């Protein structure tokens, strides 16, 4: 008979192992969530009482614990640098200061609610800032309700959330190349380096083809003008 602990181990091994590309997409998803929270807070007419601020911080920490910090740790384990948007970097910095005791709940709430993030010139602003999310606690009177968001999300659930998110992306998102998937080997860093190498080769080929086509179109137009 299979012991419960062994069955649990086999179940954990069956969980999907994300590539660093998956993690980068999850960070994009987290950026979209924090941006939506920030804009919703600007539009909210609810009185920002100490209780409201405390509950808000509780939910904000939940966001980071589900969609940010575990994956930053994954990068650290693989000895690689996480790719965070500028806005997400600022949010992580605030939350880290709170974790270390440099900020209390009111201070964190104030910094988050007053932080001005400039998205001008960002090609992917529309991609990041989407409003259809699951667990949109910020649209309700979360300060008056029990803390009902799940205490834990599996890797499979997080990946499905960002994939659903990506399906909402505007037409500009098709400019991003599709990423080839591979079986996971024993060395996660080597696996991801191979994926990055092949993806860069594909991107270089596509850019070369695109540039060749544009040069050809430009030459044709120049001949017609002369």
48-72 pLDDT, tens per residue?
Answer: 999 999 999 999 999 999 999 999 9
Domain boundaries of the chain, sorted by first residue: 16-170, 177-226
| pLDDT tens column, 140-167 | 899 998 888 998 898 889 988 988 887 7
Question: What is the structure's pLDDT at 184?
Answer: 52
How much is the pLDDT for 118? Answer: 60
- How high is the pLDDT of residue 83? 78
Q: Is the confidence at residue 175, as pLDDT, over 50?
A: no
Region 37-55: mean pLDDT is: 92
Token pair 């939940």 is at which residue? 62
pTM equals 0.66
Return the C-alpha torsion angle 159, 173, 127, 20, nearest 10. 40
Dihedral of CA 206/208/212/215: which sign? positive
Torsion angle, CA of 153/154/159/160, rounded to 10 degrees? -80
What confidence tens digit (pLDDT) does each residue in 211-225 have?
Answer: 888 888 788 777 777
């Amino acid at each position: 008979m299979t012991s419960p602990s062994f069955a649990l181990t086999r179940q954990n091994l069956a969980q999907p192992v994300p590539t660093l590309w998956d993690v980068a997409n999850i960070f994009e998803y987290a950026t979209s969530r924090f941006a939506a929270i920030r804009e919703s807070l600007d539009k909210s007419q609810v009185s920002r009482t100490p209780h409201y601020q405390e509950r808000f911080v509780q939910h904000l920490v939940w966001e980071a614990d589900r969609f940010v910090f575990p994956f930053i740790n994954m990068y650290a384990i693989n000895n690689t640098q996480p790719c965070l948007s500028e806005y997400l970097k600022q949010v992580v910095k605030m939350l880290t200061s709170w974790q270390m005791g440099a900020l209390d709940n009111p201070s964190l709430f104030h910094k988050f609610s007053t932080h001005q993030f400039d998205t001008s010139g960002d090609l992917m602003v529309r991609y990041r800032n989407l409003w259809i999310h699951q667990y949109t606690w910020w649209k309700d009177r979360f300060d008056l309700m029990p803390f009902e968001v799940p205490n834990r999300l599996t890797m499979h659930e997080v990946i499905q959330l960002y994939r659903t998110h990506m399906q909402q992306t505007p037409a500009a998102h098709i400019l991003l190349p599709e990423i080839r998937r591979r079986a996971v080997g024993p060395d996660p860093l080597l696996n991801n380096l191979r994926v990055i190498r092949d993806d860069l080769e594909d991107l270089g080929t596509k850019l070369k083809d695109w540039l060749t086509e544009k040069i050809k179109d430009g030459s044709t137009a120049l001949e017609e003008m002369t």
